[in-house]
């Protein structure tokens, strides 16, 4: 009797151990490819990508036009002449961009000039919280990215985003793109998905700066917010800067020098 | 047997009709011949042919997740040790540049209609 109880406990112990081991092994996701995945050699890396726009050097909407055009070309963004247009970068007035500012009597230049708008790549992105399919997600380097394969077009992210940075493809965007497509190395989107600025994540991986930064002639700085010597930190240390709707606590990654 | 002649002829006719898929296939063409035209100039894909034939869709799926979510945008081949940039449009389609005589041939034969090309741009397309 004693002997059989001892044997039973031994067997039960071994079984439990095997079960835990088995669960642990199945928890690790099996890789299908026999090869190895590595980051792309020569890509730009940062702990937290951020953008600083020197709005003092953009007097009118035309000054922003090269940046917007460069972005449209790089990402095959269509111009749809209705209210169903798709935009990654656009401009708006001070009152609309910084509605938190209660000051009625700002200096004329600040009040009258247009401001460039794009996805803020927040530290606490509401769009990521509400996405039911994880099509929108935050990467460790601070970029809020999208996987259009997973987007089901529910538009929760558009409701969640306090900056209006997202556009829905109400129609097939290819109908409004020139022939041939502006950038044959970047996909278009399809009807029924939401899209937005991706901080040129595909260009950063290729060792290039974002298209709008390149087209801005140094008026937009882009770099690592965690690196005290980066261009963005230098610009923020030496100038007065604001961000959009700071009271919401989303912690945008796009700064405006005023 | 009662009415043996009729029953036996009936059974023979039934067996012939029942087995028609088998003997009709001898007349028709072999289903394995999809007529896929392999790319010119390049001998070896990222992995061996057997793996690519069976698992290219799963590989592409994994490539997408690795590139977009893990920031691993390069793939080191187990077969050749070469490094490839992970991109359907800019890596795969550079060699497999004829959609109609490569992808489509097999996909149509197997009745699969993936919608890659509603977003990704085909080399010969506009």
Domains of chain A and any CATH numbers = 49-257 (3.30.70.20)
| pLDDT for position B29 | 67
Report the pLDDT value the prediction gives residue B126, as an integer from 0 to 100. Answer: 37
pLDDT band at A2 (very low <50, low <70, confident <90, very high): low
d(CA B66, CA B89): 16
What pLDDT, on the 0 to 100 scale, is given for residue B30?
A: 64
Report the predicted TM-score, pTM, of the whole model to 2 decimal places. 0.83
In chain A, which residues have their Cβ closer than 8 Å to the Cβ of B59? Answer: 32-33
Three-class SS state of A144: strand
> Cα(A192)–Cα(A155) distance, rounded to whole angstroms?
9
pLDDT at position B46 is 95
Greatest CA separation found in chain B?
79
CB–CB of A246/A101 below 8 Å?
Answer: no
Contacts of residue B73 in chain A, CB cutoff 8 Å? 39-40, 43, 205
Cross-chain residue pair B89–A184, CB shorter than 8 Å: yes
Closest Cα in chain B, distance from residue A4 (Å): 50
Please provide the average confidence, as pLDDT, over all residues in chain B: 90
Interatomic CA distance for residues A2 and A198, integer angstroms: 68
Is the CB of residue A137 less than 8 Å away from at least one CB of chain B?
A: yes
* B119 to A187: CB separation less than 8 angstroms, yes or no: yes
On the 0-12 / 13-18 / 19+ scale of CB atoms within 10 A, A207 is exposed
CB count in 10 Å sphere of residue A148: 17
Q: Is the peptide bond before A180 cis (omega within 30 degrees of 0)?
A: yes
Cβ contact A33–B62 (<8 Å): yes
CB contact under 8 A, A32 and B71: no
DSSP 8-class letter at A244: S
- B79–A181 CB contact, under 8 Å: no
CA distance A149 to A90: 25
Quickly tell me which residue has 């390069």 as its tokens.
Answer: B74
* Pairs of residues, one from chain A and one from chain B, whose beta carbons lie less than 8 Å apart: 83
ipTM: 0.84
């Amino acid at each position: 009797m004693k002997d059989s109880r001892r044997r039973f406990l031994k067997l039960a112990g071994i079984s439990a151990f095997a079960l835990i081991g088995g669960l642990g092994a199945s928890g690790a996701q099996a890789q299908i490819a026999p090869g190895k995945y590595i980051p792309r050699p020569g890509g730009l890396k940062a702990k937290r990508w951020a953008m600083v726009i020197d709005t003092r050097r953009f007097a009118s909407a035309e000054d922003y036009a090269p940046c917007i055009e460069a972005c449209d070309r790089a990402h095959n963004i269509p111009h749809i002449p209705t209210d169903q247009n798709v935009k990654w970068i656009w401009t708006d007035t001070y009152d609309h961009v910084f509605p938190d500012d209660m000051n009625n009597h700002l200096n004329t230049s600040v009040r009258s000039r247009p401001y460039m708008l794009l996805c803020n790549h927040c530290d606490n992105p509401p769009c990521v919280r509400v996405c039911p399919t994880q099509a929108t997600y935050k990467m460790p380097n601070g970029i809020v990215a999208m996987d259009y394969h997973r987007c089901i077009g529910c538009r929760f992210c558009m409701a969640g985003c306090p900056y209006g940075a997202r556009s829905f493809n109400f129609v097939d965007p290819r109908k409004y793109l020139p022939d041939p497509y502006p950038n044959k190395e970047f996909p278009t989107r399809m009807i029924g998905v939401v899209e937005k600025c991706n901080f040129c994540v595909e260009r950063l991986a290729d060792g290039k700066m974002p298209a709008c930064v390149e087209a801005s002639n140094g008026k937009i700085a882009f770099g690592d917010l965690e690196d005290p010597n980066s261009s963005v930190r230098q610009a923020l240390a030496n100038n007065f800067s604001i961000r959009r709707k700071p009271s919401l606590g989303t912690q945008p990654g796009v700064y405006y020098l005023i | 047997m009662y009415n043996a002649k009729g029953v036996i002829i009936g059974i023979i006719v039934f067996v012939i009709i029942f087995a028609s898929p088998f003997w009709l296939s001898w007349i028709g063409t072999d289903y394995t011949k999809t007529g896929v035209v392999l790319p010119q100039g390049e001998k070896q894909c990222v992995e061996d042919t057997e793996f690519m034939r069976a698992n290219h869709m799963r590989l592409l799926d994994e490539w997408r997740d690795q590139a977009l979510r893990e920031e691993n945008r390069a793939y080191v081949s187990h077969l050749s040790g070469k490094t490839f940039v992970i991109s359907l449009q800019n890596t795969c389609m550079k060699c497999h540049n004829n959609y109609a005589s490569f992808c489509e041939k097999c996909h149509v034969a197997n009745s699969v209609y993936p919608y890659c090309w509603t977003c990704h741009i085909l080399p010969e397309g506009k």
